[in-house]
Each structure stands twice: as structure tokens, then as C-alpha cells.
């Protein structure tokens, strides 16, 4: 993890940020950038940054450095299988204990609901009308708005 943070800090600095600015940017986003999961980080070219977020400053500074960094969350095959197993268990045992739910919530955090939606969309045979109600009753975000295909 420290190597990743160091590499990202270096990348931000090569884009023109001062070292302290790069450090501050990483500290600002640390809680969401470095949580459990697999993600791809990227920096947009300045022309795209300027096109997406136009900025005019008066008086015009001698130098203006803007860095737009982003990330893409990737749902690994392991995560798909894990969520598939969780939903299969929920389908066969709607009153699974809270430990199972806590493990899933802790592991995937705020991404759990979208991951569940994705797995249900990919595996419509998992759908059962009781699943959504069970998920909501277990404290997962509602509504899942997942429908069988």
C-alpha cells in the first residue's frame, strides 16, 4: 500500500503539483482511494481537464497547474463469486445471521449494493422476489431496483 501511495504521489508531482500538494491530495482522498477493492487510477491530460472543467482566473496567473485524477472501481471475478455465494445463501436461507452480512458490508463497504445489482443483472436466475426485501431488512441500501430479465 505504501508503494502505491508513493507511486501516486510521484505521478501527481510529475503532472506539476508541488510535493506537498500531491501529499495533501492523497491524504484528502485516502479513505476512499485505499479501501478494500481493486481499482485503476488515472490522470487526465490537461487538455481534457480544461475541457471538462473550464477555469478562468483574473488576473491571469503566470502558471496554472491543474491535475484531474480519477479512479475506476473494478469488480474482480473473486468478488463476483463472493457476492454470488452471498446471494445464493440469502436465497436459500433468507434469515442468514448478521455475521455474514457484516462480513460482506465490511469487505465491500459502499460498493456492496451496486455489486449486488451487478451480480443479479448478470445472473438473473439468482433473482427471487424475497431477496430484495431480505437485503433491505438486513440494512443494505434500498431500493435495489433490480428486476428479473
pLDDT, position 111:
84
Q: Indicate whether 87 and 40 sit together in one domain.
A: no
Q: Indicate whether 6 and 70 sit together in one domain.
A: yes
pLDDT, position 16:
93
pLDDT, position 31:
81
Q: Which domain holds residue 118?
A: 77-137
Q: Looking at the domain assignment, is residue 147 inside a domain?
A: no
Q: How many domains is the chain built from?
A: 2
Q: Indicate whether 84 and 121 sit together in one domain.
A: yes
**Beta strands per DSSP E along 5-109:** 38-43, 69-74
pLDDT, position 140:
66
Q: Indicate whether 64 and 86 sit together in one domain.
A: no
8 contacts 41 by C-beta, under 8 angstroms: yes
CA atoms within 13 A on the CB side of 1: 9
**Average pLDDT per 10 consecutive residues for the chain, totaling 149 residues:** 90 94 91 81 93 94 91 90 87 70 80 85 80 69 52
pLDDT, position 10:
94
Interacting residues of 4 by C-beta distance below 8 A, sequence separation 6+: 34
Q: Indicate whether 96 and 64 sit together in one domain.
A: no
Q: Indicate whether 62 and 85 sit together in one domain.
A: no
Q: Indicate whether 50 and 92 sit together in one domain.
A: no
Q: If we measure between CA atoms, which residue out of 81, 125, 137 comes closest to residue 146?
A: 125
Check residue 126 and report its DSSP letter: G
> Would you state the cell numbers that stand for residue 30, as one nine-digit string?
485516502
Single out the residue in 74, 104, 129 at which a domain terminates.
74
Amino acid at each position: 500500500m505504501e508503494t502505491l501511495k508513493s507511486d501516486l504521489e510521484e505521478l501527481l508531482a510529475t503532472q506539476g503539483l508541488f510535493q506537498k500538494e500531491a501529499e495533501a491530495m492523497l491524504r484528502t482522498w485516502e479513505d476512499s482511494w485505499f479501501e478494500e477493492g481493486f481499482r485503476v487510477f488515472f490522470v487526465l491530460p490537461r487538455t481534457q481537464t480544461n475541457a471538462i472543467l473550464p477555469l478562468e482566473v483574473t488576473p491571469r496567473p503566470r502558471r496554472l497547474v491543474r491535475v484531474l485524477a480519477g479512479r475506476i472501481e473494478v469488480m474482480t471475478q473473486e468478488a463476483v463469486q463472493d457476492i454470488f455465494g452471498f446471494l445464493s445463501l440469502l436465497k436459500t436461507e433468507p434469515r442468514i445471521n448478521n455475521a455474514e452480512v457484516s462480513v460482506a458490508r465490511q469487505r465491500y463497504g459502499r460498493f456492496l449494493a451496486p455489486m449486488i445489482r451487478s451480480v443479479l443483472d448478470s445472473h438473473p436466475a439468482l433473482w427471487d422476489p424475497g431477496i430484495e426485501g431480505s437485503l433491505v431488512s438486513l440494512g443494505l441500501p434500498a431500493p435495489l431496483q433490480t428486476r428479473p430479465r
